[in-house]
Structure 1
Amino acid sequence: MRLVLSLALAALIGLLAPSVASAADVAHGEQVFSSNCAACHMGGGNVVNAQRTLKQEDLQAYLANYGDGHEEAIAYQVTNGKNGMAAFGTRLSADEIADVAAYVEAQAARGWA
């Protein structure tokens, strides 16, 4: 009986561990943003196209599928780029992109204040 319970517990931990490990890290996202994004997007702005900032209303207006999944839409943009924005999918890991997307969304929700 102990063996069955131990195996069940191990399986449950194995199922839960990836979701805990894959949770976005906003603090790390801030570091990634500072190193890779701030040159063009300092304070949530946009030096290439001043009308397409990282403020929530602009993200809603200009990012495809932002209304369906904010962080996923941001991660897609970071990964693939578009128009004047470079693609970072080959420069940043998937975890770094998820973290920076979480940071951008958190800042957008606070109005970049």
Structure 2
Amino acid sequence: MLRTAAFAAAIASAAAFSAPGPLTLRASAKEVTGVAKVAAAGAAILAAGPAFAGDVDAGEKVFNANCAACHAGGQNSVVPDHTLEKAAIEKFLTGGFNEKAVITQVTNGKNAMPAFGGRLSDDDIANVASFVISKSEEGWE
């Protein structure tokens, strides 16, 4: 369905910019409506979920290897109320609940949390931030 929507959009775009000539594009109202429905469904699929800057699956591996000692299951073994649950991130993380704020925290550290900038690559940090935000959205289940 997504390919059909993309194809329909490409054909419509090409038709809009082509010079008039012997080739004409004719479609019934029913066909145009069907194409519009497919395009709308494709757009809804693309917009349905959150977009993450990093790779969530790779971030899980980085998290398990570097963060889980203190943050297993989204908890915090050092400062118990500073968990990785959405409400706590919104309350305690400078910058709020978003990947950029998690990247800043992981890179620079803060209070009892050490800085991982220089120890982890920028890609690893972006991936772990995507993982943390994703899991927080899901409720760390």
TM-score by length of 2: 0.62
Partner residue in 2 for 1:3: none
Partner residue in 1 for 2:76: 46
Q: Distance in 2 between matches of 1:111 and 1:75?
A: 20
Q: Distance in 1 between matches of 2:110 and 2:99?
A: 17
> Which structure exhibits the higher relative contact order, with contacts defined as CA atoms closer than 8 Å and separated by 6 or more residues?
1
Deviations 1:39-85 (A, max 9, x none): 00000000000010000000000011115xx0000010000000000
Q: Distance in 1 between matches of 2:94 and 2:135?
A: 19
Q: Distance in 1 between matches of 2:86 and 2:77?
A: 17
Identity %: 49
Alignment of 1:1-113 (within 5 A): 23-67=53-97, 70-113=98-141
The one-letter code matched in structure 2 to 1:76 is T
**Tell me, what secondary structure is at the counterpart of 2:124?**
helix
Unpaired stretches in structure 2, ≥5 consecutive residues: 1-52
**After TM superposition, what 4+ stretches of structure 1 lie above 6 angstroms from structure 2?**
none
Over the aligned positions, Cα root-mean-square deviation in angstroms equals 1.3
The one-letter code matched in structure 2 to 1:32 is V
Quote the offset at 1:90 in angstroms: 1.1
Q: Distance in 2 between matches of 1:30 and 1:111?
A: 15
Q: Distance in 1 between matches of 2:109 and 2:80?
A: 17
Q: Distance in 2 between matches of 1:52 and 1:39?
A: 15
How many pairs does the alignment contain?
90
Quote the offset at 1:24 in angstroms: 1.0
Q: Distance in 1 between matches of 2:107 and 2:127?
A: 12
